[in-house]
A and B are shown apart, each in its own frame.
Chain A
Amino acid sequence: MKHVKNLALSTAVALGVAFSGVLSEAAKAEDSNYVPLLTYRTGPFAGSGIHIANGMADYLHMLNERDGGIGGVRLEIEECETGYNAQKGVECYEATKGKGALVYNPYSTGITLQLIPKASVDKIPVLSMGYGLSAAAVGETFPWVFNVPDTYWDGASVVIKYIGEQEGGRENLKGKKIGYIFLDAGYGREPIPLLEQLAEKYGFELLQYPVPGKEMQNQSSQWLNVRRDRPDYMVMWGWGAMNPTAIKEAVKIRFPMDKFIGVWWSAGEDDAAAGGAAAAGYKAMNFSGVGMDFPALQDIKKYVVDTGKVPTDPESMGGTLYNRGVLNSVIIAEGIRTAQELTGKKVITGADMRMGLESLDLTEERLAELGLSGFAHPMKVTCDDHAGSHPVFIQEWDGEKFVKVTDWIEPMRDVVRPLLEAAAADYAEKNAPWPARTEPCPN
C-alpha cells in the first residue's frame, strides 16, 4: 500500500513538472523568438564546426544581452548537436520544430538535402548560407530554402574566373589541367556539374580526386595522383579534418601553394597553419570579414565572451570560420527584423521568417549600422533568386594569417543561372509531385 501511495505521489509530481514545463514553453513562445542552431562541436568535423557554432551562437546571445533581443523580443537560442551526421540532423529538426522554430541552419549539405522537402510542409525556412543544394537558389521552385550569399556553383565559377585571370585570360585555360580534390559526399560533389560545364566551355581538363570521409586523414594516394598528373592548379572543397591533411600533403609533394585554392569552407586558419611555413601562398575564397576590427565583434566580446556567458575562447574570435558563423546569425537576425517590420508582429512564425528572408536587403548602410561595415559584400535576396550570386574575394595565407589579395570577384552569373534553373526543374521533376509555389512574393 505504501508502495502504491509513493507511486501516486511520484506520478503527481511528474505530471506537475511536465505541466509546468508546458506552461513555461507556452510562456516562452509568447515572449520570445525561438532559433534552433544545428551545430557540431564533436566528431570528425568539430575542428571546423566549433568555430561556426561559436560565431552563430555568440552573435545572437550578444543581441539578447545588448539589445534585449530583436524588436524588443528576446531570442531563445538552442543548440542541437548533429555531429555532421544527416540522421542526427533530422532527429534534431524533428525534436525542435514543434517549439516554434523560425529557421534551420543545417551546416551540412547532407542534412540540408534531407530538410528541403520538409521545409514547405512544416512551413519553416532552411537557411544554408553558402552551401547546400545550389539549385535551391531558384525561389520559384524552392520558396522555403535560402542559400544567400552564394551557391557552390557561384564559388566554382569564381575559382575558374580567378585562375583565368592568373593565366592572362580565360581563353588561355585551353589545354590546362585543373585538379579538383573534394570530400566525397554531397557537399564535395555539388560543384562538379558546373566545373565540368566550364571545362568544356574553356577547354581545360578537369581531374577529380575524391577523398572518402573515412580517409580524410589518409590522403597520400590522392596526392601521389596529383604529383603524377601534374595539374596546373588545384581546387579544394574540403571540410573538417580533410583540410589540414590536404594542405600538409600538398606541401609534402611540393605542389606550388600559390596555385592551390580552397572553397570558403577550406579557409580556416587552423587548416592552413597545419602546413607550417611551407603552406604560405595557399589561397581560399571568402565572403566574410576576417579579424576583430568591427564594432559588432567588439560588442560580442564585451557582452558575452568577457562576461563568461558563452564558452568561446577569446583567442578564436575574429577567425575566418568564427566570423562566418557571425555572418550567418546576422542574416538570421536581419530576417527576423524584416519579418517583424513586414508583419507588424513581434513574435513571428516560420512563415513570417520566410518572408523576412525573402525580403533581405543587407545594404552597406545597414551593415554600418550593425557595426559591420565592410564585413561582407552588401547582399540582397529576391523572390526569384535566393542566393544572389554575390561577389567573393580571395585570401592568401602568409604563414601566420589570411590576407585579402583580390578585390570582390563576381561569379559568372550568365553561366550559373541557366544551370541553376535547369537543375531546379530537374529536381522538381525527379521529386514529383513537387509543390508549385503558392507563397506570395513579399517584395
Chain B
Amino acid sequence: MLYDIFIDPFVQMYQMPDFFLQVLWEGFVAGILYALIALGFVLIFKASGVFNFAQGIMVVFAGLTLVGLHENGVPAYLALILTIGVMGILAYSIERVVMRPLVNQPDIILLMATIGLTYFLIGFGEFIFGGEPKRMIADELGLPTGSTAFEFGERGLVILQHIDVAAAVIAIIMVATLGVFFNKTRIGRALRAVADDHQAALSVGISLNQIWAIVWFAAGLVALATGIMWGARSDVSFALEIIAFKALPVLILGGFTSIPGAIIGGLIIGFGEKIGELYWGGLVGGGIESWLAYIIALIFLLFRPQGLFGEKIIERV
C-alpha cells in the first residue's frame, strides 16, 4: 500500500514520460480554463463584494447566443460582435434592474439576487434557444481544429489539440488585457477604488452604477470566451453551467479578489486534479477529480486562510 502511494506513481512518471507530459499539458489547459471562469467571479466580487452565482449560466447564455445567431443566418464574426452587444445589454440590465435597487443591502441579499438571476437566465435561455445542445461554431470563427502529435521516445506520443492551444493563448491574452485595463486605465483605477471602499469612491465622484455595468460587461466577455472554449471541447448546453463551479476551489485557493490569484489558483487546481486523478485516483477506484480540487484548496487554506493572494483582513477590537 505504501509502495502504491509513495513509490509507484513516481515510477510510472519516470517510465512513461510522454504520458506524464500529456497529463501536465491537460492539467495546464484545464487550469487555464478554470482560471478564465474564476476571473469572471473575481471581477464582480472585487467591484461589489457579490459572489456571482449566475456566472455559470452567463457562460451558457453567451455561448447559446453566439451559436443561436449563427444558426439564424448571421455570419460567425457578426454573430460574435452581436453577442458582445447582447452581453453589454445584459450587463446594463442587471445593473439597472438587479444591482441598483439593492445598493447597501447585505451581501447575502445580493447573492440571493444572483441566484434568482441564474434561474431567470436558465428559463429565458431555454425559451429563446430551446434545451437542445448546440455545436460550437469553432470552425466558422477560425479557431483551429485537429491535433498535432509529437513522438516521444520509441512508443511515446504527446498529442496537442489545436483548440486547446488556442484556448490557452486566448485565455492568456484575455487575462493580460484585463490586467492592463484594471491597472493602467482610468476606469480600472476607479474600479479598484470602488473595490477598496464604496463610500470613499462615491465621495470623489466615481459613478458606482457605471463601474458595476462595466464590470458585469467584462464578466460577460469572460463568460463568452469561456463558453466558446468549453463549448468547442464538448458542446454548448445547459450542462455547461455546472462547469462554472469548478472555479470554486480556484477561488478558495487564489482568493476572491485577486486576478493573479485566479490564474495561479486555476493552474494549481488544474495540474493537481489531473495528476491526482491519473496517478493516485486508481487507489480508491477513480473519479476523485471532482472532490480532490477542494482538498487541495483546503490544504492551502490551512496555511493561508485568505487564499494565496487574498487580502488579509485584520480587525482590531
Give the residue of B122, B240, B274, B287 whose beta carbon is less than 8 angstroms from that of A210.
B287
**27 chain-A/chain-B pairs, Cβ below 8 angstroms:** A41-B126, A43-B131, A43-B239, A44-B242, A45-B239, A46-B238, A47-B132, A50-B130, A50-B131, A208-B286, A216-B234, A217-B237, A217-B240, A217-B243, A220-B30, A220-B274, A221-B273, A221-B278, A225-B278, A225-B281, A227-B22, A228-B16, A228-B19, A241-B237, A253-B159, A274-B135, A274-B234
Chain B 268-298, CB-CB to A under 8 Å as 1, else 0, gives 0000011001100110011101100000000
How far apart are the CA atoms of A240 and B234 in the complex, in Å?
A: 12
- Residues of B whose CB lies within 8 Å of any CB of A are 16, 19, 22-23, 26, 29-30, 122, 126, 130-133, 135, 145, 147, 149, 159, 161, 230, 233-235, 237-240, 242-243, 245-246, 273-274, 277-278, 281-282, 285-287, 289-290
Interfacial chain B residues near A215, Cβ < 8 Å? 289-290
Does chain B have a CB within 8 A of A361? no
Q: How far, in Å, is A202 (CB) from chain B's closest CB?
A: 23
Contact status B131-A241, CB under 8 Å: no
A42-B131, A210-B286, A253-B159 are known contacts. Are A228 and B243 too (CB-CB below 8 A)?
no
How far apart are the CA atoms of A274 and B239 in the complex, in Å?
A: 16
In A318-371, the 8 Å CB interface with B consists of none
Contact status A44-B234, CB under 8 Å: no
Interfacial chain B residues near A139, Cβ < 8 Å? none
| A276 nearest CB neighbor, chain B only | B145
A47-B133, A225-B286 are known contacts. Are A248 and B233 too (CB-CB below 8 A)?
yes
A212-B287, A215-B290, A228-B19 are known contacts. Are A42 and B238 too (CB-CB below 8 A)?
yes
Q: How far, in Å, is A250 (CB) from chain B's closest CB?
A: 13
How far apart are the CA atoms of A215 and B245 in the complex, in Å?
A: 11
Does chain B have a CB within 8 A of A218? yes
Does chain B have a CB within 8 A of A232? no
Report how many residues on chain A are interfacial, defined by Cβ distance under 8 Å.
39
Interfacial chain B residues near A241, Cβ < 8 Å? 133, 234-235, 237, 239
Does chain B have a CB within 8 A of A245? yes
Interfacial chain B residues near A47, Cβ < 8 Å? 131-133, 235, 237
Tally A-B pairs: CB < 8 A. Answer: 113
How far apart are the CA atoms of A49 and B277 in the complex, in Å?
A: 31
| A184 nearest CB neighbor, chain B only | B287
Q: How far, in Å, is B109 (CB) from chain A's closest CB?
A: 27
| A248 nearest CB neighbor, chain B only | B234
Interfacial chain B residues near A225, Cβ < 8 Å? 277-278, 281-282, 286
Contact status A221-B289, CB under 8 Å: yes
A214-B290, A227-B19 are known contacts. Are A245 and B234 too (CB-CB below 8 A)?
yes
Interfacial chain B residues near A248, Cβ < 8 Å? 233-234
Given A218-B246, A225-B282, 20 more pairs with CB closer than 8 A: A41-B131, A42-B126, A42-B238, A44-B237, A46-B237, A46-B238, A209-B286, A214-B242, A215-B290, A217-B243, A218-B30, A228-B16, A241-B239, A245-B233, A252-B159, A252-B161, A253-B159, A254-B159, A274-B135, A276-B145
Interfacial chain A residues near B245, Cβ < 8 Å? 214
| B282 nearest CB neighbor, chain A only | A225
How far apart are the CA atoms of A45 and B237 in the complex, in Å?
A: 9
Interfacial chain B residues near A228, Cβ < 8 Å? 16, 19, 278
Contact status A44-B159, CB under 8 Å: no
Contact status A217-B23, CB under 8 Å: no
Does chain B have a CB within 8 A of A244? yes
Chain A 31-54, CB-CB to B under 8 Å as 1, else 0, gives 000000000011111110110000
Contact status B19-A44, CB under 8 Å: no
Give the residue of B22, B235, B281 whose beta carbon is less than 8 angstroms from that of A244.
B235
How far apart are the CA atoms of A156 and B242 in the complex, in Å?
A: 30
How far apart are the CA atoms of A349 and B139 in the complex, in Å?
A: 54
Does chain B have a CB within 8 A of A269? no
| B289 nearest CB neighbor, chain A only | A221
How far apart are the CA atoms of A227 and B239 in the complex, in Å?
A: 25
In A221-277, the 8 Å CB interface with B consists of 221-222, 224-225, 227-228, 240-241, 244-245, 248, 252-254, 270, 273-274, 276
Q: How far, in Å, is B287 (CB) from chain A's closest CB?
A: 4
How far apart are the CA atoms of A276 and B136 in the complex, in Å?
A: 12
Contact status A217-B274, CB under 8 Å: no
Q: How far, in Å, is A50 (CB) from chain B's closest CB?
A: 6
A41-B131, A43-B131, A270-B133 are known contacts. Are A221 and B147 too (CB-CB below 8 A)?
no
Give the residue of A41, A216, A270 whose beta carbon is less than 8 angstroms from that of B239.
A216
How far apart are the CA atoms of A370 and B126 in the complex, in Å?
A: 35
Interfacial chain B residues near A273, Cβ < 8 Å? 135
Contact status B19-A217, CB under 8 Å: no
Give the most central of B122, B149, B239: most A CB within 10 Å: B239
Contact status B238-A44, CB under 8 Å: yes
How far apart are the CA atoms of A241 and B19 in the complex, in Å?
A: 27
Interfacial chain B residues near A224, Cβ < 8 Å? 19, 22-23, 26, 274, 278
Interfacial chain B residues near A211, Cβ < 8 Å? 287
| A252 nearest CB neighbor, chain B only | B161
Give the most central of A46, A211, A225: most B CB within 10 Å: A46
How far apart are the CA atoms of A222 and B290 in the complex, in Å?
A: 12
How far apart are the CA atoms of A244 and B230 in the complex, in Å?
A: 13
Chain A 43-81, CB-CB to B under 8 Å as 1, else 0, gives 111110110000000000000000000000000000000
How far apart are the CA atoms of A241 and B135 in the complex, in Å?
A: 12
Interfacial chain B residues near A43, Cβ < 8 Å? 131, 238-239
